[in-house]
Amino acid sequence: MPDYIERWLFTVKCNTIRGTTLDSYEEVLNIHIRPKLAHRQMGNVTSMELQELLNATIGKMAYRSAKWIRDCLKFPFEYAEACGDIQRNPMAIVELPSSEFYIEPKDIEILEADEVEAFEKIAKEKCFEKNFRLAPLIVFLLKTGLRWGELMALPLDLVSWDLKRLAVEKTLTKVKNRNRKSDGERKEMWELHPPKTPNSIRDVPMSQSAIEYLQLFLEVRQHFNRAFDHTSPYICKTPRGWVSYTSFYNCVFRMLEEAGIDKDISGMHFTRHTFATRLLQLLIENAINPEYASKVLGHKNVSTTLDYYSHLLKRDMVNGLECMEAV
């Protein structure tokens, strides 16, 4: 059965999904499905066995991870039934356990206003030091809400200084190098492609402050002349390739340490989360439609934005109840 799913993945599915999604499906197959059902056949595995496999994920992972396992079983079985490889689809009656039984995703830490100011101060004062040369770009992310991959895929000619806008047309992701022929070649490679949803292709307004930090980084790039590829149209590329995600995260760690901020920042998404939280707070306080934030962030729709940042709406509801008490 796992071999059939692998064949379906690399014959049928691979040309309809992104490299990162293909990598995720392959990882789910090899870690969660193959070890448990290695010797079962597509035609004789039972619904009960598949249900037990999904039930075994309860309390061990996030709901989103369990959905990946469900989908990695569901779609190949639907295909096998449609093309006559099996007479019936055992996944048709298998149920994914309710989300309440799974581990709650860890909240992404955000920076408070004074902590953002501390980052700005460090970016201005230390950016010409090697260990802090990416600091202006980190502040730029905090002020625009761009995803890290969108920043890396941003060419300077899509930055409109006069109109104070930039255009997001592509993103950068790391995928498995499937053309690797020897151990000497890299296991992973960078891939430029359009964003996941049409809404992510968007114009993003830049505040004057955001513009100043982007311009500051361009000065830093000129100062560390040999460290960057000045022939590349992209903002942050070296002669050897893209500046790594790890380099950015290490700079964030140094900035946290320098500012004396004790927070468990586990990735670059905190910049986007910080920006979105602060923007929505201001929109709510000024009674402006949150759809504006949805468009700036490139979410599929406004409900996605409200789902992500529902904690802000709950706080606003409490304030609303206080007002009702006074009526």
| Alpha-carbon distance values, 134 to 152, 216, 236, 242, 249 (Å) | 12, 10, 9, 13, 10
CATH topology for 113-276?
hpI Integrase; Chain A (1.10.443)
What average pLDDT does the chain have?
90
Name the β-bridge partners of 252: none
Q: What are the tens digits of pLDDT across the range 191-249?
A: 999 988 889 999 999 999 999 999 999 999 999 999 999 999 999 999 999 999 999 99
Q: 2-101 belongs to which homologous superfamily?
A: Tyrosine recombinase, N-terminal domain (1.10.150.130)
Q: Which residues of 253-292 are buried (b: 16+ CB within 10 A; e: fewer)?
A: ebbbebbebeeebeebebbbbbbbbbbbeebbeeeeebee
Give the pLDDT mean for 63-88.
Answer: 96
Q: Same CATH fold, 113-276 and 2-101?
A: no
Q: Is the pLDDT of residue 323 over 50?
A: no
Q: How many CB atoms lie within 10 A of CB 115?
A: 18
Which residues are CB-neighbours of 177 under 8 A, at least 6 positions away?
185, 186, 187, 188, 189
Q: Is the pLDDT of residue 312 over 60?
A: no
pTM of the model: 0.86
User: CA-CA distance, 53 to 33, in Å (whole number)?
Assistant: 8
Give the pLDDT mean for 56-80.
Answer: 96
Full DSSP string of 241-269: EEPPHHHHHHHHHHHHHHHT------STH
Nearest to 242 by CA among 145, 167, 175: 175
Q: What is the pLDDT of residue 315?
A: 52
Structure tokens at 288: 């402006």
Q: What is the pLDDT of residue 326?
A: 42
Q: Is the pLDDT of residue 321 over 90?
A: no
Give the start-to-end residue ranges of the domains of the chain. Answer: 2-101, 113-276
Structure tokens at 294: 């949805």
